[in-house]
Amino acid sequence: MTMTEENETITMQEEEQIHSWHSQLLRNISKSLHDFRMADRPGKVDMLGKWGLFIPAVASTLIIVLILAFLWFESVPILVDPSGGPGIVVSPTWDPNRDLFGIAIFIVGSLLCAGIAIGLAVPLGIGGAIFLSEFCPMRLRQPIKMIIEMMAAIPSIVYGLWAYLVLVPIIKNNIAPITQSPTNGLSLLAGGLILAIMLLPTVVTISTDALQTVPLSLREASLALGATQSETSRKIVLSAALPGVGAAVVLSLGRAVGETMAVLMVTGNSLQIPYSLFDPTYVMTSIITNQLGYAFVFPLWRSALFAVGLVLLIMSICFTLTAKLFIRWGMKTRGYI
Amino acid sequence: MLKNGESESILYRLYALSGLKDALKSRRHFSDYIFKVILGLVIIIIVSPFFLILFQVAGVGFWQVFGTGPGQGLEFLFTFPGAGLEGGIRNAFVGTVELIVVASAVGIPLSVCGAIYINEYTRPGHVRGIVEFTSDVLAGIPSIVFGAFGFVFLVDFLHIGMGIIAGSLTLAFMMIPTILRTTQEALRAVPMSLREASLALGATKWSTTWNVTLRAAFPGVITGFLLAIGRVMGETAPLIFTAGNSLIVPTELAGPGSWIASMPYTIWAYISDPREYLQVKAHGTALALMIMVLAIDLIANLISRKVTRRLV
């Protein structure tokens, strides 16, 4: 009995609230209109300006929504077509002439390339970050930081040019003969190496920032207990900065998967799943760059390419989310990042 | 004997200087020492690609950009390529500048106004969180996805057509997150007392924002512009499907006359061409592009360092 009464009173209150909310809105609108009419010129500019600024503020949200919507509507044809369907994500055959649009080899190629790059760049980058933030002589720190920031600014096409003209011949002539594997140098290894070089500045910069936010008192406490500098930096500083370093790794993973030009120039672009480091491979960004121009008049082909783009977009959103989670974890457990 | 003793003393001095004396005290000291040496080697490995790339690009392209002979130096930047693509890169140089100018004209007002709105007019909460999150997501989107989006949305859906408008709008989309977040950081660093003083003098929020807050945050805002411009200047992938390519500078705003070349695209087109002089031109273009991008980055760094020093 009491329950029903309570419910009734609650609905009554809610109705009243809704009613009052409506009238309040009306009152607010009429009040602001009245204010606007009464205001002098600066006041009018102030009120209009606030709403004028609202539109640019939602521009980035609008662009994200538009990108998602357009990639989705462009990939719908292949996702509902009997020859395609969501199974294209695991189907390994890409042959537009026979209407076979499996994009698994591109996903595997991208992940392998990014995996090699991360495997090389993360240990080196964290080592470099520890050196920069803990051991580097003051005189050297600023120049090294500047060079690393400049490396991050070098356009990816220049990295691609260098990799194509220097790294690929080195792999062909000097590295591949060690294992007796025939290759023209355009290989998974070349893609992984150039990606690692491109990721290093990101990893070093973000990790250095994370290491430098660790309070000095932690280091002092560890050193006072008799730990050496290397033990302090490995076991205390690095573990205290772990969320920031994790965010750096995830962000650079996103960059690795999304990198286009340099990888396109050195991975050989052959439609196969690589079985050794010296096999050529095809990554997701390359297939879009190479074929979107031709495929545009073929609905299914074009749609399959946009499905690749959608996979890329979803992956990059996931990486950004994961990095945010790392930062939130850092704020929660450590109070700094 | 004397010579031997001298070399010993030099060796000993080196030995003391290198810290080996302390390192050999115990196993833990030694591993500490080895750790530091390895990290030093790692930092050398990390920065060496910068010099290798600079060496390769400048080694081939130096005389194209700084030479004084025919077709070199400023002449390389300011003559149009001929029918066989020999000659200069004026189409690409002017194209990149025009793309950047139009992209900045669209991207900078959008992102600065957006940053002002979310930092000055909203409280921390839903609206601000959504805008911050979406601009972070936007910053992480691969450049080829921007290119594909620009192609299907601007070129195909809005019927703008390939050319300067579509290309620079795509670049403007890519600029938004960088400028928005740096401007927001700069605005956040402005002390509240400045705003309060202005409001107490009877200024409206609008004039406070534009005349007081933004002026105080200006160096940080400029840093954001420069970082964003440096970032999009080297982008190739978004331009392949949205800007087209051309041997001259665009003469119209729509149609094939508006197709526009850019320096990164030119490097890509020339480097995959077997003709020798095109390889040299690709290196020259890459060197010019690198110098432009690195100069912009250095200026941004200098401004931001000066600002942080002043605030501290």
Are A29 and A103 in a shared domain?
no
pLDDT at B312: 33
| Confidence category of residue B28, pLDDT binned at 50, 70, 90 | confident
Task: Please name the residue of chain B whose CA is at the shortest distance from the CA of residue A201.
Answer: B46
Mutate to test the interface with B, among A47, A48, A62, A63 (most CBs of B within 10 A): A63
Chain A residues closer than 8 Å to B131 by CB: 57-58, 60-61
Nearest CA distance, A154 vs chain B (angstrom): 6
Residue B311 has pLDDT above 70, yes or no: no
Mutate to test the interface with B, among A45, A50, A58, A60 (most CBs of B within 10 A): A60
d(CA A138, CA A141): 5
pLDDT at A256: 92
Residue B235 has pLDDT above 70, yes or no: yes
Chain B residues closer than 8 Å to A261 by CB: 236-237, 264, 268
Are B140 and B13 in a shared domain?
no
Residue B225 has pLDDT above 90, yes or no: yes
CATH number of the domain within which B229 lies? 1.10.3720.10
| Confidence category of residue B137, pLDDT binned at 50, 70, 90 | very high
Chain B residues closer than 8 Å to A257 by CB: 142
Domain hosting A168: range is 86-333
pLDDT of A184-221, one tens digit each? 889 999 999 999 999 999 999 999 999 998 999 999 99
Q: What's the rounded mean pLDDT across residues A286-293?
A: 91
CB A288 within 8 A of CB A311: no
pLDDT at A4: 52
Are A33 and A168 in a shared domain?
no
Residue A114 forms part of a structural domain = yes
Q: What's the rounded mean pLDDT across residues A286-301?
A: 88
Are A173 and A32 in a shared domain?
no
Q: What's the rounded mean pLDDT across residues A127-138?
A: 91
Query: Residue with structure tokens 């594909």?
Result: B148
Average pLDDT in chain B: 86
User: What are B39's two structure tokens?
Assistant: 């990290």
Residue B8 has pLDDT above 70, yes or no: no
Put simply, the answer to whether A261 touches B45 (Cβ < 8 Å) is no
Are B58 and B204 in a shared domain?
no
Residue B238 has pLDDT above 80, yes or no: yes
What is the number of structural domains in chain A?
2
pLDDT at B41: 93
Residue A270 forms part of a structural domain = yes
pLDDT at A5: 54
CA nearest neighbour of A228 among B68, B23, B160, B243: B23
Query: Among B40, B46, B145, whose Cβ lies nearest the Cβ of A313?
Result: B145
Residue A11 has pLDDT above 80, yes or no: no
Q: What's the rounded mean pLDDT across residues A53-76?
A: 90
Put simply, the answer to whether A161 touches B267 (Cβ < 8 Å) is yes
User: What are B101's two structure tokens?
Assistant: 């100018």
How much of chain B exceeds pLDDT 90, in percent?
45
Residue A61 forms part of a structural domain = no
Q: Which of B27, B62, B97 is the last residue of a domain?
A: B62
Put simply, the answer to whether A56 touches B142 (Cβ < 8 Å) is no
Residue A1 has pLDDT above 70, yes or no: no
d(CA A218, CA A134): 13
Residue A183 forms part of a structural domain = yes
Nearest CA distance, A157 vs chain B (angstrom): 6
Domain hosting B47: range is 2-62
- The length of chain B in residues reads 312
ipTM: 0.89
Mutate to test the interface with A, among B44, B144, B229 (most CBs of A within 10 A): B144
Are B50 and B79 in a shared domain?
no
Put simply, the answer to whether B294 touches A289 (Cβ < 8 Å) is no
Residue A59 forms part of a structural domain = no
Are B7 and B133 in a shared domain?
no
Q: Which of B62, B84, B105 is the last residue of a domain?
A: B62
pLDDT at B310: 47
Residue B1 has pLDDT above 60, yes or no: no
CB B205 within 8 A of CB B120: yes
Residue B134 has pLDDT above 70, yes or no: yes
- Collapsing DSSP to helix, strand or coil, A283 comes out as coil
C-beta neighbour count of A27 within 10 angstroms = 11
Q: List phi, psi (to 5°) of A100.
A: -110, 115
Angle (CA) B187 B230 A164, round 5°? 145
Are B22 and B86 in a shared domain?
no
Q: Cα A168 to chain center, whole Å?
A: 27
pLDDT at B193: 92
Are A101 and A236 in a shared domain?
yes
pLDDT of B201-218, one tens digit each? 988 888 999 999 999 898
**A250 at interface of B, judged by CB pairs closer than 8 A:** no
Put simply, the answer to whether B144 touches A124 (Cβ < 8 Å) is no
Residue B296 has pLDDT above 70, yes or no: yes
Mutate to test the interface with B, among A44, A58, A157, A269 (most CBs of B within 10 A): A157
Lowest mean pLDDT among A114-123, A157-166, A237-246, B6-15: B6-15
pLDDT of A142-174, one tens digit each? 899 999 999 999 999 999 999 999 999 999 888
**Residues 6+ positions from B147 with CB-CB distance below 8 Å:** A288, A289, B170, B237, B238, B239, B240, B241, B242
Put simply, the answer to whether A230 touches B111 (Cβ < 8 Å) is no
Query: Among B117, B272, B297, whose Cβ lies nearest the Cβ of A56?
Result: B117
Are B23 and B167 in a shared domain?
no
At position B108, the amino acid (one-letter code) is I
What is the number of structural domains in chain B?
2
Residue B22 forms part of a structural domain = yes
pLDDT at B87: 79
Nearest CA distance, B71 vs chain A (angstrom): 22
pLDDT of A220-266, one tens digit each? 999 999 998 899 999 999 999 999 999 999 999 999 999 988 999 99
Residue A36 forms part of a structural domain = yes
Task: Please name the residue of chain A whose CA is at the shortest distance from the CA of residue B43.
Answer: A128
Chain A residues closer than 8 Å to B231 by CB: 153
Q: What's the rounded mean pLDDT across residues B231-242?
A: 90
pLDDT at A148: 93
Residue A243 forms part of a structural domain = yes
| pTM of the predicted model as reported, rounded to 2 decimal places | 0.87
d(CA B174, CA B100): 11
Q: What's the rounded mean pLDDT across residues A135-140?
A: 88
Residue A188 forms part of a structural domain = yes
pLDDT of A28-62, one tens digit each? 888 878 887 877 888 888 888 888 888 888 888 89
Are B80 and B180 in a shared domain?
yes
d(CA B243, CA B168): 8
